Structure 1
């Protein structure tokens, strides 16, 4: 009997065979382990993402949600409240031109690449990708640099779930509380001493006399730090993994860095770090012969939709010339990732620098340790060795 357990280490290691069975044989599947329905086809998930009145985010969008987060962040609200939050956050983000991150990205890459000089092998995730990601977030939010290690460690813990208990443990909840307290202290400090940074822009953003509430700023910052560190760092690791496993693609990017943006889109389709998110039904839905009831939770498997042959021909082939349209690497609908442009830009410049410094590499370990998470998928460690 087929089972789908999103907490399984086997799913972390390689979810794609199970995704194919879901798409082909069980496109609307009840997972006992997750306690929710699972959708896996691109058409069904795109419909859910664009039909927020039925597939609601108001009870949280994480498969395992944190207490107090649902209904108070951009990803865990529905319109019209979602639209208000998004407009205010978007206004704050546009105050800082995306080009402002290019110089800090180059500086960060240069510093961490210099630290790798003379080393035949290194861990891309912990020696480079994660460090660059934290540097960029600390720059955007003007965070105190002495907190960098604590912020990263707690952000990584926040996205994890325990594969044995199948839930957030006290350690994961404590990491969330630490990050929320950290964000609250930053909000209070920045209200007293505003600056030219993203956090200050969140506080001062205003539309028709309305501003973000302090709790909304706090939870937005908490979520953006968590998602920024895990999503961007995770995707950088996945991109490096794709290029290690597909040397012909890597050599094409080394020869012509203008191809990197297209390679980013294919990597987002082929191996997105954002694998699974949740919605809650506001009414009964009949789909593929199953009746999902109002109040039921539904898991949207972006990673499965991105390998759906009904949408993408030959989906298990990594092809940087594919130019995939409407992949779900950043979700979709009203809840499409607000930081997608920033993530694309940062990834483009980070890999342009990395590939110039390390044009040839391969991975050391065939079997990888993966972040245990019901939402995200990325390697905890990615050891690379220079040369062919």
Structure 2
């Protein structure tokens, strides 16, 4: 019998990682992945325990499987308490200043604008023509960015989240995109300091707790992270949900008949087929788990996508059930590093699909074999052509 291998960077894994995830969970719950050079946790409880134990499973050496240079220890997702707590509190203060109720109508208007452009078309690419447009427009509205920068920001934010299609490491084009985003963020911070406005970036600059404010470098890194997460991750999350509804038409028809079920469907989509598949941590001490000893300094890959399909946590986990209400899923991570933008992401997705299904209640996907975004962390279709009736 051939030796089991798990290659998180392979096209086969992009297409369908779930059979390999089940083998990992059942037979190799603490697995040394030669291709990634790190251990892999695939069971829900192991991943959740690691997320909750930041002192042992540190983020300070980077949380991306293929990390960007200079990012580790400099962002909210790559710091540990107490520095992490300070950053999170200041960023949270700025984010919560924008009440979610005030975002509902702007998000709805953005969705309707892009849907109006699609009406009458027999087919279109959900990613390029809807989900990516919605997320980019939302971020530009929140940060009050100039419309003429739309295409360049979108291109570089998507690139910095990706990896080389073959090596799955950051190539020259990805590093250049990251540097472009950082330089762009520096320019924005300098401009807002001179002329603050009613936008999230200005709120980052003015946010203050006990006389302490965010440093320019911290604001720059936060902007870069939010652009990457907001444009690539949120768009991917929406695209995967559209894929799920195309593959499970009975679920789609149920939501068309009763849109009030969309929030629960979003949670099940995040569990069943999350776009956030894998993130890493670094051990601060030796850990023994499932009969193997992992050494201090080793990296551990937390396979959220595997944990979300763990039958030890969720009965019949390979079934897409929009009535499931999967509490505690790992679609937004967990512990001190749980995604800060969950409320905005959920709100955006709920409005986007309420509007989309009202216009396009019946659709199928054109391509049986999908192209996937090359990424060590995220899994979403780079193109999703839908035919509508």
- Scaled by the length of structure 1, the TM-score of the pair is 0.99
Deviation at 1:167, TM superposition (A): 1.0
8 Å CA contact 1:129–1:236 kept in 2: the answer is yes
In 1, the alpha carbon distance for the partners of 2:361 and 2:299 equals 45
- Corresponding pairs, count: 387
Equivalent position of 2:192 in the other structure: 190
Residue of structure 2 equivalent to 1:138: 140
Q: How does 1:1-388 map to 2 (within 5 A)?
A: 1-387=3-389
Deviations 1:17-64 (A, max 9, x none): 110111011000001100000000000000000000000000111111
1:94-128 CA-to-partner distances (Å, cap 9, x unmatched) read 11101222111111111111111111011000011
RMSD of aligned alpha carbons: 0.7
Deviation per CA, 1:307-362, whole angstroms, max 9, x where unpaired?
Answer: 00000000000000000011000000000000001100110011100000000001
Greater than 3 Å deviation, 4+ residue runs = none
Q: Cα distance, 1:247 vs. partner?
A: 0.6
* Shift in Å, 1:383: 0.3
- Any stretches of 5+ residues in structure 1 without a counterpart? none
CA distance in 2, matches of 1:94, 1:43: 31
Query: Structure 2 length as normaliser, TM-score?
Result: 0.99
Supply the distance in 1 between the matched residues of 2:145 and 2:36 (Cα, whole angstroms).
36
Once residues 344 and 164 of structure 1 are traced to their aligned partners in structure 2, the CA distance between those partners, rounded to angstroms, is 33
Counterparts of 1:141 and 1:13, CA distance in 2 = 35
- Structure 2: tracts of 5 or more residues without a match: none
Bigger CA drift: 354-363 or 95-104? Answer: 95-104
Contact in 2 for aligned 1:121/1:386 (Cα 8 Å): yes
- Contact 1:101/1:136 (8 A) holds in 2: no
Shift of 1:164: 2.2
CA distance in 2: counterparts of 1:314 and 1:190, whole angstroms? 51
Query: Does structure 2 conserve the Cα–Cα contact (< 8 Å) formed by 1:261 and 1:348?
Result: yes
Residue 149 of structure 1 and its aligned partner are, at CA, apart by 0.8
SS in 2 for 1:240: helix
CA distance in 2: counterparts of 1:289 and 1:230, whole angstroms: 38
